[in-house]
Amino acid sequence: MDTGIDIICLVDRKPVFIQVKESREYTIKRGKRYWQRISEKSLIKNKANNMFYVFVLKSEREVNYLILPSEFIYNIRNKLDKKASLFWLYLDIEEEKVVEGRKSHEDLTKYLNNFDQIKDA
């Protein structure tokens, strides 16, 4: 499991760090599911307002990107599996809406293909 930074870039002379994660599509009753595991160590080490996880969501017909701030993922993890050393993030896409698919069902649609938030970091 990769825990390091994949991309370091400068936005208005400020560093932005990006961890890229890839997942293929799994068909479920309600639509499409993608999943990824993230270690607690990685979440703690990479928690910052200028750190993002970019989930590459690959299906047979398209590729989408879910860009989540690391602090946001850290907060979701604390709601779902606070004691787990590995956090399993399930991403469900149902009719153009993205939700956390396990317990919280939090709406993540605003993060889908939203690279603008990186510019604002």
pLDDT for position 111? 96
Place of tokens 């590729």: 63
With H, G, I as helix, E, B as strand and everything else as coil, classify residue 5. coil
Confirm if 26 and 32 have CB atoms less than 8 A apart. yes
Model pTM?
A: 0.87
Please name every residue paired with 53 in a beta bridge, in sequence order, or none if there are none: 19, 68
pLDDT for position 50? 92
In order of 10, 48, 91, the CA distances from 120 in angstroms are 12, 14, 24
pLDDT for position 78? 76
Domains, the chain, ordered by start: 7-102 (3.40.1350)
pLDDT for position 2? 56
Confirm if 20 and 54 have CB atoms less than 8 A apart. yes
Q: What is the pLDDT of residues 65-77, one digit of tens each?
A: 999 999 988 888 8
Reduced 3-state DSSP string for 56-118 = EEECCCCEEEEEEEHHHHHHHHHHHCCCCCEEEEEEEEECCEEEECCCCCCECHHHECCCHHH
pLDDT for position 20? 94
pLDDT for position 3? 58
Q: What is the pLDDT of residues 35-67, one digit of tens each?
A: 998 888 888 787 888 999 999 999 888 899 999
Q: What is the pLDDT of residues 72-101, one digit of tens each?
A: 888 888 777 667 778 888 999 887 899 988
CA atoms within 13 A on the CB side of 38: 30
